[in-house]
Every structure is written in structure tokens, then in C-alpha cells.
Structure 1
Amino acid sequence: MRTKELADIAGISVRTLHYYDTIGLLSPEIDRENGYRNYSDQDVSTLQQILFFRQLNFKLTQIKDILNSPKYHQTEALLEQKDIILKEQTRLNNILKLIDKTIQAERGEITMTNEEKFSGVDFSHNPYEQEAREKWGDEKVEQANQNLKKMGAKEAEREFDEIYTQLADLRHLDPESDAAQQEIGKWYDFLNKVGEYTPEMFKNLGEMYTADERFTKNIDKYGDGLAEFMKEAMTVYYEQHKK
């Protein structure tokens, strides 16, 4: 199956498939005669897995680690994904019940104690994702989480916001300018506080900022065009620091 055909049936862009190949997440056979990518049935199944994980808010780096883990088995992954969704369904149903009860309280139909306003709902962030990643041995993500804990969530959020705000102020400059490179260097240093990024991985991450519209949308909240500026600045940073 050729790239355009697979992109059409999966409902994603050709650019996304090319990016998955670039980062080694989904690399099909290359036809030696014409250089076209040829996706096998197994590649199609792997793409389905990738997209299932994306729907569960897993990051591409996490998905790659899972797929490459010796513990990974496709059928078991599907069963685990199903279990995650069923648990999430139960969690959302409990939230809906609590919302309905709160609406009744706001209307004066019932009374609720402060404790009851939070009763029956786990407000922690996606505990099932963590559960699944631990099962599949996502060591890199676990290490990143430990590093974030050491740094402190508030401190990490403050530093993240400060870097993005400063980059947004510089986004109209040339990405190769000293000011832009100095600030994008702070982003590289921050990422390496919570994980392990080579300059090449840093560049690939920047490419994802514009390849994935969800990234673009969130980043551009700091300023229109910031995602594109960061991608270009991160590419320049890679060129200046690659070995």
C-alpha cells in the first residue's frame, strides 16, 4: 500500500506518515526502483496501534518506546487499550453523575457538603496511562516523570511558561539570530532536565510542532506562528550543535 492510500483510509495526512518514518516510529519498505514507501499489512496494523495510543493521549516518544519494548505484544496491547477506555468510560460516567448532582444542588433541589462535591471521582491526571506505560516498560518516560517530581511541578510549569513567553516575544526575529538561538537553547536545556534529548531528537521534536496540529494549536496560544518559529529555531540549533 502506498503512502497516499494509507493516509486516506486512516484519515491522517501524508505528512504525518512521512514524519512517523523520519522519527523511526513507522518505517515501511522502500521500493528500490522508484523510491516509494510500500506499507505492508503489518505496517497498517502498527499504524492502527499508534493511532489508538494517540487517542489515549500518549506522546509519540512514549508510543515508540512501547512498540520497541521486548514486553510489547499487539493483542495484549489491544486488550490493555480496551481496559483503559472502559476505565475511562467509568470515570467519565462518575463525573457526569457528580455534575448532575451539582446542578441539582445549584438549583436548590438538594444540598451537598464540600466533601460530596468531590466524592466518587478521581481527579488525578489519566492514571490508566501511567499504569499501561509501567506494564510495557516505558523507562524513559518514567525517568522523565521522576525528574519532573524532583524539579517540582510548580517550578517546572513556571520555567516552561517563562521560556515560551520569551520565545513568543522573539518569534518575529530570524530563527538564526543570536537572541533566538540563546532562548531556544534554554528550551533544549529544560528538556534535558526531564529527559535525554540529543540535538537530532530536539530537531525532530520541533518538526512535530507543525506536523501535529494539536501541538501547533497549544504552542500558538503563546503567539501566532510560534510553533513554526520554534521548529525553525530548533533545526538551526541542531545544525549548530550536531556532532
Structure 2
Amino acid sequence: MGYTVGQVSAFAGVTVRTLHHYDKAGLLSPGDRSRAGYRRYDDADLARLQQILFYRELGFPLDAIAEILANPQASALEHLRTRQRQLTEEITRLQRLAEVAERAIEVQQTGVSLTPEERFEVFGEVAFDLTYATDAQAKWRDSNGHREAMARASAHTKEDWRRLMAEAAAWRADLLAAHDDGERAMDIAEEHRLHVSRWFTPCPPRMHRRIADDFAADPRAFALVVPPSQQRPGLAAYLARAVRANALRHIHVEEPRITDHVSITYEEH
């Protein structure tokens, strides 16, 4: 009895137009026709269609498929080997493109235009979570401070990052010492505020409070300034309190309301 073109289209997952094209190209001509002249496909036709679809999935052009099906014993293996080499080369090319795209995303989101090797060399164990960068980009995309920080970060040279990270490491040591002995908290906070202003964007006290609030609320943010291996219980909250106290001693009159925010991006993957 055979199968109609509509039935074959449905269970093979191809369009009727494609089946008509295969017929016109001489690649798959149904073995029978109904009394009304409609195409009827038998089991052998379906087996041939399965082969055609297999080779199409591998990216073979129709003329190559026709050649393989005309003499499968002589040509199929050679064609498959050639196609395997082509696919392997294409996979390698796409992997390189994916790496380039990933690199571009990292630069856009973190502002650090160093290679992964340079990042490891410069940043050591200070790590940056790209999910935080993505969230920060979405949250602060309208912030002039955030945009300026990203622009300045991406313009930093490797030597700039070396100096920046040395300064950050010295500040981190002071923070840990201050947390342990309870002294100099506000001075440590002020050093961090000036560090942000020096390397990223002007950071008035009100903005600094918002940055410190992020440190206390989001471990990914705090990991930008203190890697997990150096953190202490309550350290992020301690820093946030110190920043708030430092802000109060600098704000003698009410400043205009500041809505900008910056996410700091000295980090490493």
C-alpha cells in the first residue's frame, strides 16, 4: 500500500517541499504512485530517506549524498573520513571563536583586559564571579560611576594592575589587623575610599557606603577585596560599619543625593 508524502513528512520530520525537492533531484523518487498519480513511498524508500537524512545531518551536499548512495561500498567510508576531518577543523574553529567571545564578555563585564595567564599572575587568589559582574551590569547600567569605573578598569595596563593590586593587598593587611585589634577602622575605610577614587571613579562618602553595603550583603562582592581564604567571621559587616562611620565624619552638611554606584573590579579568574 505504501505511504503518502504527507505521512512520510510527518514521521520523518521533513517538509513535503523537501521530499518533492529530493524527488526532482533524483535523490529519492518514490517507488510507486496511487491511481490518482500521487507519490507512494515503500519501505525501501524510507530506508533510503533515512540514509539521506543521516548524511544531511553531517552536512553533506546533495550531490555528494547521491554519489555515496549510488555506490556505497566504494565511496561512503572515504566521504565519511573527509567529513570527519572537516567537522573536527570546524569544531576547533568554533572553540576558538567561543574563547574569543568569552574573553570579550569578561572584558565588558569586569573591565579587565588581561589574558587569563596575566590575570593569574597579577591577581593571585583574588577571584571575581562573573555572575556578580552580570548582575552588576544589569543593576547599575544607568550609573555614570559604574560606566566610568568599567572604562578606567579596561584602560589599565598590566603594570597599572600590579600597582593597584599591591596597594589593595597592603590595604587588606591593614583591614585584617584592624579587625583583629579593633583600631583604625575608620582610617582603613577612608583608605579604601581613596583607593576607589584613585583607580576607578570618584567615590564620595555616600557612594562608598553603598559599596560597603554590597560587601556586607553579597559574598561575591566582598570576595573582590578579600579572598575567601583571608576572610574572618563578621569581617564584611565590620567593614560596612567602618565605612558608614567614616562617611558620617566626612559629611558635615547634607550632600546632594547620589544615585550612582560602582562595582569594583580588581579580580582574577
TM-score range, shorter chain: 0.3 to 0.5
Tell me the TM-score normalized by structure 2. 0.38
| Larger RCO, structures 1/2 (Cα 8 Å, 6+ apart) | 2
Tell me the TM-score normalized by structure 1. 0.41
